[in-house]
Amino acid sequence: MTGRLDHAARRVARALATTACTIGLVLLASPAAHAEPSGGPSGGPPPSPFPDANLILRYYDLVRYDDYFTDSVGGVWFSTPLGLNCGIWDRGSFGCTGDIRGAPPGTNNIGWITGQIEPRYDPALAVQFPPGRAQRDLPPHSYIEYNGTRCATMADSSTFCSHGPFKFYVTPTQTWLGPP
């Protein structure tokens, strides 16, 4: 009787193993198992529109910030190829005035003021900006650093400014603010 029980137990174990393998193969081959996650083309988050900070540091020319001081107000001030008047002032606050491409109609200011939770564009920024006027251009492929903020003029005339996670990017056609 013991031999029959051993034989029956082996048959049951073999049947269970076969069933488990079959279920596993069905699950692996099912379309749901191969579904692409949402996000970018590779399944991850969409790519960032912002320039790579390491690229700027490696391949762009750092200008001397003391060449960009003005007699009228504190901070450094520069103009961009897109015609923006930009500055970096107290504690790293930064911003630009002018034609902010892709922003809501009537928007002339973009920036981040120390203590704010994100950069923004709105008319109230005009009151918070110092009355600085640029006396020099920030040439394409160059950047300036002052009070922990970095601003760069890109090859396509775009302007990118950042202070830690706070940043904006004004291109000839669009504008992005970060963090989202």
pLDDT digits (tens, 9 = 90+) for 54-77: 999 999 999 999 999 998 899 999
Calpha distance 38→60 (Å, rounded): 35
Q: Residue 100 has what DSSP assignment?
A: -
Sheet holding 166-170, edge to edge: 61-62, 142-146, 149-153, 159-163, 166-170, 175-178
Residue 113: both structure tokens together: 């003021």
Q: What is the pLDDT of residues 141-159, one digit of tens each?
A: 999 999 999 999 999 999 9
pLDDT at 91: 93
Calpha distance 128→151 (Å, rounded): 19
CA neighbours within 13 Å on the CB side: how many for 65? 16
pLDDT at 122: 80
pLDDT at 180: 64
Q: Which residue has the tokens 């198992």?
A: 33
Give me the sign of the Cα torsion angle 86, 87, 88, 89.
negative
Residue scoring higher pLDDT (43 or 147): 147
pLDDT at 30: 36
Backbone angles phi, psi at 129, to 5 degrees: -75, 140
Number of neighbours of residue 63 by Cβ within 10 angstroms = 18
Q: What is the pLDDT of residues 3-31, one digit of tens each?
A: 554 555 455 445 444 444 344 433 333 33
Q: Which residues of 142-151 are buried (b: 16+ CB within 10 A; e: fewer)?
A: bbbbbbebbb
pLDDT at 12: 47
**60 SS3 class:** coil
> Averaged over 104-127, what is the pLDDT?
91
pLDDT at 21: 38
- Give the DSSP H or E segment for 117: none
Kindly report the pTM of this predicted structure.
0.74
